[in-house]
Amino acid sequence: MATIGFIGLGNMGGPMAANLVKAGHTVYGLDLSDAARAAFADAGGNPVEGIAEAVSQSDVVISMLPAGAHVRKVYTGEDGILENARPGTLLIDSSTIDVESARAVASAAEAADMVMVDAPVSGGVGGATAGTLTFMVGGTDAGFAAARPYLEVMGKTIVHAGGAGNGQAAKICNNMILGISMIAVSEAFVLAERLGLDHQKLFDISSTASGQCWSLTTYCPVPGPVPTSPANRDYQPGFAAAMMLKDLKLAQEAASTSGASTPLGAEAAALYNLFCNSGEAGTDFSGIVKFLRGKASA
């Protein structure tokens, strides 16, 4: 069993770290939030208050932070992970961040004699809790092989996407599909309401027809058809609209620097921007259906 430093015990990191504890690893967990550290202690983990305490004795460091700036600061900032971890430590960043930051931090880690992989996830809080996440991993073959046993504790599907940063590339492509498909499914429910077609009927038909997709069958944006979807708890996240907007912006930045044409991705980013600016940044991203319904009745 390994000693693991886990940085970022939020909606996703909390349950991921708890699964590592359950598997028998010794886990030191760090978060800025007292509540997150207390919840981690309740799950059997060892909460700590500084990076040195979390990583200096660890064989493996895993992070689950909001964005690229947090990851750069926590790894390469003053008194950060690279200054405090031992050479040879395996570093796994599972946050969703920009490809450029992922590659910059990985090369700083290499210069400090540490192996780093980017390993962002798909599967949401439900997948984090159940240990069924999908991991998209960027890094060397050796880094992937070293990370795999730990990722298998937290996930079900582990895919090596290529060199450093390629896990993040896969993640932003996937989430661009997700943002666009959630808007598509939401628009269909709003149209169905206008046409007098019952939510459940549309669900029963489209979930077994060519409109079938994850946004419909696992994360349905209207209450009823999928009891576990956030629509049934007044759109409490889950996956906050602000996080979806962040990922759609990352995709647009990447499209612009690489010259890819992504017009629906651009429209999805614009709609989520309007939704977030209407005071809904903390609402689950499937709540976009309320916004589209509002536009429909305007």
239 belongs to the binding site for ligand NAD (CB under 6 A): yes
What's the CA gap between 33 and 15, in Å, rounded?
Answer: 15
Shortest CB 199 distance to ligand NAD, Å: 23
Q: Which is nearer to ligand NAD, 31 or 59 (CB)?
A: 31
For ligand NAD, the binding residue among 15, 29, 80, 124 (CB under 6 A) is: 124
Nearer to ligand NAD, 66 or 211 (CB): 66
Distance separating alpha carbons of residues 178 and 92, to the nearest angstrom: 24
DSSP string, 48-107: ESSHHHHHTT-SEEEE--SSHHHHHHHHHSTT-HHHHSPTT-EEEE-S---HHHHHHHHH
Angle at CA 130, nearest 5°, toward 124 and 28? 90
Residue nearest to ligand NAD (CB): 10
Can you give the length of the chain in residues? 298
73 belongs to the catalytic site: no
Kindly tell me which residue out of 4, 5, 6, 13 binds ligand NAD, with binding defined by CB under 6 A.
Answer: 13
Residue 202 CB coordination number (10 Å): 22
Site for ligand NAD in 58-117 (CB under 6 A): 64-66, 70, 74, 95-96
- C-alpha distance from residue 79 to each of 74, 85, 97, 270 (Å): 8, 10, 21, 38
Mark the segment that binds ligand NAD (CB under 6 A) among 6-14, 157-165, 180-188, 268-276. Answer: 6-14
Residues carrying an active site annotation: 171
Q: Catalog residues that contact ligand NAD under the rule CB under 6 A.
A: 7-13, 30-33, 36, 64-66, 70, 74, 95-96, 121, 124-125, 239, 243
